[in-house]
Amino acid sequence: MSRTITHFETHDVRFPTSLSGDGTDAMNTDCDYSSAYVSIHTDGESPLVGHGMTFTIGRGNEIVCQAIATLATRLIGRDPEELFKSMGKTWDWMSSDPQLRWIGPEKGVIHIAAGAVNNALWDMFARSRGKPLWKLVADMTPEELVDATAFRYITDAITREEALAMLKAKEAGKEERETTVRELGYPAYVTSAGWLGYSDEKVARLTREAVAAGFNHFKMKVGADPVSDVRRGLIIRSIIDDPQYLPPGSKGRDPNSPELKGKNAGPTGAVLMIDANQVWDVPQAIEYVKSLEAIKPWFIEEPTAPDDILGHAAIRKALKPHGIGVATGEHAHNRMVFKQLLQAEAIDVCQIDSCRLAGVSEVLSVLLMAAKFGVPVCPHAGGVGLCEYVIHLSLIDYIAVSGTMERNVLEFVDHLHEHFLYPCSINSKGRYNVPLNSAEGYSIEMHEQSIAEYEWPHGSYWMKAKAQGSK
């Protein structure tokens, strides 16, 4: 059946999360979780649609929408089936406009806009095949998956031939791993209890609720004040390390088990991570994190500028004797930054972002590099829509690429899922359920009512707020 891409729509959707302190950290103190959202349409007797978005925290979201429109215009008149044949080549073409490339290249607003557009194409691809995105990719042959991956500028770290050999080596166990994860779910950790703007009482309550919900990995924000950070960390530790708060019938997990080794797990097997959101210089990061040793963190996330590869390497080296690792990646703006972080042995945990990277094809390149270097991938989520996105990416990593999820954990934040037609969900063991609806694609389609209510600046919520003189 012949189809042509005919038009697209963009929406600047913003949610007033700053009113409740959701998302607050030492760097980002005023967050209105926002979606620069695009829907791409075809003609034909059975027209296709693909939805994509990238995430911001408010002002500037309109600039991303303008960049999305500029990129999406290039798709008008194209046959989607031709694009689907090699999504790696399609990715290269989308990233190589000889004029648009100048305002990157492959970084900043133009790159995250490319993430929204490429994700929309992948969503359309998965919907056209009647599969969730993770299943579409997991079912690919090793050759097809390599053809879907972006390799430009990373062949000094991994070649197409190496990637193909890695994927073939994992192919035999794919069916068994898919069965396992469908049954168990994918391991998750919770950030919702640890926002910097929350009171101690709210932190304690949310931590108790998270333990009762089956979580055993927890993350808190740090960096504003070390005394306050230790106090808040000890509050969280006092709950997650205490068996009385475990779900009925649970004895916790063995802190000496292989999946918890080196994570500073407490007596119940609970793990605490900390996140500074880039606030420190390198020497400051080292000294500050040493002062938090009492709360026994597994890793410090984003201790310094996200582009400072050698700075992360220095921090990792200095903190290693203290048993604290380094994680980063949510603001690593392309696969080349991840390549250097891995080559420089600068990180213990690789944190991809589903739309800071420019779509699934670039994510695949980072998954492959991380697997080669033996570094676990624990994606950044939270925000709006990111949890819906990243469960697909972690499933692809486990089933087709790394073949492991024992030490991996995927971020979960309990915000704004109700705005999506196919929201992610968590089971009673604190794990993501596997998306199974054949119609959901990349799970990012937003309810029309949510767009109508929260589109900036003329959605019904924002018009009412303006009339009342407040958010």
Told to judge if 415 belongs to the known catalytic residues of this protein, a careful annotator would answer: no
Q: Of these residues, 333, 380, 392, 415, which one is catalytic?
A: 380
Q: How far apart are CA 357 and CA 114, in angstroms?
A: 8
Paired tokens of 166: 């890695």
How many residues are listed for the chain in this entry? 471
Told to judge if 429 belongs to the known catalytic residues of this protein, a careful annotator would answer: no
**Count of C-beta atoms within a 10 Å radius of residue 144:** 16
Q: Give the distance, in angstroms, between the CA of residue 22 and the centroid of all CA atoms in the same chain.
A: 17
Beta-ladder partners of 188: 410
Do residues 141 and 172 lie in contact, with contact meaning Cβ atoms separated by under 8 Å?
no
Do residues 28 and 224 lie in contact, with contact meaning Cβ atoms separated by under 8 Å?
no
Paired tokens of 87: 């999504």
Q: Of these residues, 221, 312, 333, 415, which one is catalytic?
A: 221
**Quick one: which H or E segment has residue 462?**
helix 460-468
Cα four-point dihedral sign 140, 141, 144, 150: positive
Contacts of 74-79 with CB under 8 Å at 24 or more apart are 75/5, 75/8, 75/40, 75/117, 75/121, 76/5, 76/6, 76/7, 76/8, 77/4, 77/5, 78/4, 78/5, 79/2, 79/3, 79/4, 79/5
**Count of C-beta atoms within a 10 Å radius of residue 36:** 30
Helix axis angle for 360-373 and 386-396, nearest 10°, is: 50
Paired tokens of 50: 């693909």
Q: What's the Cα-to-Cα distance from 142 to each of 136, 174, 352, rounded to whole Å?
A: 13, 11, 22
> Residues with catalytic annotation?
221, 380
